[in-house]
Structure 1
Amino acid sequence: MVNSQVVSAAAGFVFEPRKLAEQQLQFGNTALALRPAAKVDIADPRWGAAQLQHLVANTVREALAAKGTSLSAWVRDHHADRSGLGYDRLIRIQRGETMMQLADLFHWATTFDTVADLLATHQFALSSAPVAPAFAGEAGPRGPHTSR
């Protein structure tokens, strides 16, 4: 369970992903795994969802930068706002202010190979004994964390 100051248990799975991170401004802006905020239980599925959204947001940011474009230009050039992918909503997802939906995940995975690769290779522990991700400079159960 997550600290009630961070996410109310009554909220169910509706939460602000970046509030689970120790450094909220890192959300979507670094390839490194986020550190959980104080009293966030890494066994809570919301933490895993926040971490996945952070990694996808960062991968999208990097893919757009590699193409020499920005999120706002991409939305404008691809008429994404017509399919429910408007800039205002997408930038809130990128910053972790709102939750990513499965449709968003599918969209980015079919738009950028790097997102599809991330999803294909990233492993999330789904056991009763969760595996803590390695943070920058630390070795985890799968070795030291490296960015792609």
Structure 2
Amino acid sequence: MGERRPGMVFEPRSVVSVPSAFGKVHESIRPAEGFDRTDHRYRAATIQHMIAHMVHTQLRLRGQTLPQFLATAPDVPGFSPDRQRRMLRGETAAQFADLAFWASVFPQVAAGVAEYITSWIPKYTERGSASQPE
């Protein structure tokens, strides 16, 4: 039997250095101790942090609170107000459906997440060898 590796189930806010800043600050949050910037859990948490921050920012620009938005949100299976609050706080992991929903409401979400994911692609030097992004 091989080495047991951590699974995909994790609390997103627990893999960043300042869990209380999750979704609240514009800047990215450094990885928590034991994680690095290339860890798939940190990258997923960063995407979720970006979504949460952009959702809160866009709602504020609309003059709307999250509870107000959720009270009028479409009746979508799996889109409960309680789950969305936990997801936006980083207490429960986002799903692709969450990303798709919020990106349809706020296109900035899609653009920001796409830009971040694109940053993972190795850059090529003049000699043609790949170098890892920072």
Alignment of 1:1-148 (within 5 A): 9-10=5-6, 12-80=7-75, 82-122=76-116, 123-126=118-121, 130-132=132-134
Whether the 8 Å contact between 1:34 and 1:51 is mirrored in structure 2 is yes
Q: Which has the larger radius of gyration?
A: 2
User: In 1, Cα distance between the equivalents of 2:131 and 2:22?
Assistant: 25
Q: Deviations over 1:74-111 (max 9, x none)?
A: 1111244x432111100111111110000000111111
Runs of 4+ in 1 over 4 A off after TM superposition: 126-130
Whether the 8 Å contact between 2:50 and 2:113 is mirrored in structure 1 is no
The Cα of 1:51 is off from its aligned counterpart by 0.7
Give aligned-pair identity as a percent. 33
What is the root-mean-square deviation in Å for CA atoms of aligned residues?
2.0
> Structure 2 length normalisation: TM-score?
0.81
Structure 1 unaligned spans of 5+: 1-7, 133-148
> Structure 1 length normalisation: TM-score?
0.74
Aligned residues: 123
